[in-house]
């Protein structure tokens, strides 16, 4: 963060009338937000989205710059959004601030709920805020990834050599029940090229993943022959069959069901750095 950004933030957070939530760290604000923008308050106690009833907590804000948003959300400089503030009276007409928010209503207008805001001396220095938010997002992502690495039983960089249907041992206490949400388990055999945690180069590991495209499994990574990457693997506690076969031998089966479990091959360097980071 630039020194000037740090000074501006410290001054802003010391201003009277700033709600307690603004005392959260920028990383905490970013972690809880999915729509972040610089905007200018135009009306207080009013709305720009007709689906939202006006109240002392509703504020109309003109967007000056969009810093982060989901791709599906259409927001651009010059648009008006309704912000439901954390604390009534925390914003005044003419105030420019960086708003950390979550999406709320998308209809004839856009309404968001405030997580917090950073008031600044107008005009807000856009380049400084863009850099500050990007750094905070990286800090949040690194912290989440580090925690995920710590939970993983094995972390490897390698190549998928084979994909096959999984043959699961039937649970002895109840018969297998097929439903519309059946995951249709597949197994990817990965040739380890770099054993980052819990494995060595040259090992082969078996990773189970759902072949089904059902909504219950829509976010789970899939594997294809020839795919290379960095894989965070967890002992299989999902299928009820913790072992599988490879080369005629029984070996532990793993899963990688979270989107962060499958990274690019180049991410191996970042993963190693996070493992070493105290």
The CATH number for 241's domain is 2.40.50
Q: Which residue has the higher pLDDT, 269 or 129?
A: 269
Does 134 share its domain with 269?
Answer: no
Does 126 share its domain with 23?
Answer: yes
Last residue of a domain, one of 79, 114, 147: 147
Last residue of a domain, one of 112, 147, 182: 147
When pLDDT is cut at 50, 70 and 90, the band that residue 18 belongs to is: very low
Does 126 share its domain with 185?
Answer: no
Does 9 share its domain with 139?
Answer: yes
pLDDT tens per residue, range 96-147: 999 999 999 998 899 999 999 998 755 667 888 889 999 999 999 999 999 9
Last residue of a domain, one of 147, 181, 201: 147
Does 191 share its domain with 177?
Answer: yes
| Residue 254 scores a pLDDT above 80 | yes
Does 101 share its domain with 48?
Answer: yes
Average pLDDT, the chain: 87
**Beta strands 204-210 and 249-255, pairing class:** parallel
pLDDT tens per residue, range 205-250: 999 999 998 888 988 999 999 999 999 999 999 999 999 999 899 9
Does 52 share its domain with 115?
Answer: yes
| Residue 2 scores a pLDDT above 50 | no
**Which pTM does this prediction carry?**
0.68
Does 121 share its domain with 34?
Answer: yes
For the record, the structure tokens of 167 come out as 């043959």
204 with 246: CB under 8 angstroms? yes
End-to-end CA distance of the chain: 21
Does 206 share its domain with 241?
Answer: yes
The number of distinct structural domains making up the chain is 2
| Residue 271 scores a pLDDT above 90 | yes
| Residue 66 scores a pLDDT above 80 | yes
Q: What is the span of the domain harbouring residue 266?
A: 152-276
pLDDT tens per residue, range 177-203: 545 578 999 999 999 999 999 999 999
| Residue 23 scores a pLDDT above 70 | no
Does 8 share its domain with 143?
Answer: yes
| Residue 74 scores a pLDDT above 50 | yes
Does 135 share its domain with 159?
Answer: no
Residue 218 is predicted with a pLDDT of 86
Does 14 share its domain with 142?
Answer: yes
């Amino acid at each position: 963060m630039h020194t000037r950004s740090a000074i501006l933030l410290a001054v802003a957070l010391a201003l009277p009338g700033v709600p307690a939530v603004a005392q959260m760290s920028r990383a905490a604000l970013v972690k809880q937000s999915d729509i972040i923008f610089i905007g200018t308050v135009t009306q207080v106690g009013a709305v720009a989205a007709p689906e939202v009833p006006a109240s002392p907590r509703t504020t109309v804000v003109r967007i000056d710059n969009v810093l982060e948003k989901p791709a599906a959300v259409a927001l651009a400089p010059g648009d008006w959004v309704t912000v439901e503030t954390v604390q009534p009276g925390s914003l005044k007409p003419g105030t420019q601030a960086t708003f950390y928010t979550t999406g709320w209503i998308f209809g004839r207008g856009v309404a968001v709920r405030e997580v917090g805001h950073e008031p600044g001396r107008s005009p807000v220095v856009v380049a400084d805020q863009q850099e500050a938010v990007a750094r905070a997002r990286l800090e949040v992502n690194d912290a989440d990834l580090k925690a995920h690495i710590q939970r993983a039983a094995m972390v490897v960089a390698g190549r998928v050599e084979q994909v096959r249907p999984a043959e699961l041992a039937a649970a002895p206490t109840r018969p297998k029940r097929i439903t519309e949400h059946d995951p249709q388990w597949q197994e990817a055999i990965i040739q380890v090229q770099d054993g980052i945690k819990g494995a060595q180069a040259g090992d082969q590991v078996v990773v189970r993943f759902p072949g089904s495209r059902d909504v219950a499994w829509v976010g789970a990574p899939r594997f294809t022959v020839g795919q290379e990457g960095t894989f965070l693997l967890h002992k299989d506690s999902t299928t009820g069959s913790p072992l599988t076969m490879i080369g005629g031998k029984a070996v532990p089966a793993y899963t990688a069901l979270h989107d962060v479990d499958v990274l690019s091959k180049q991410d191996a360097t970042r993963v190693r750095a996070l493992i070493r980071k105290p």
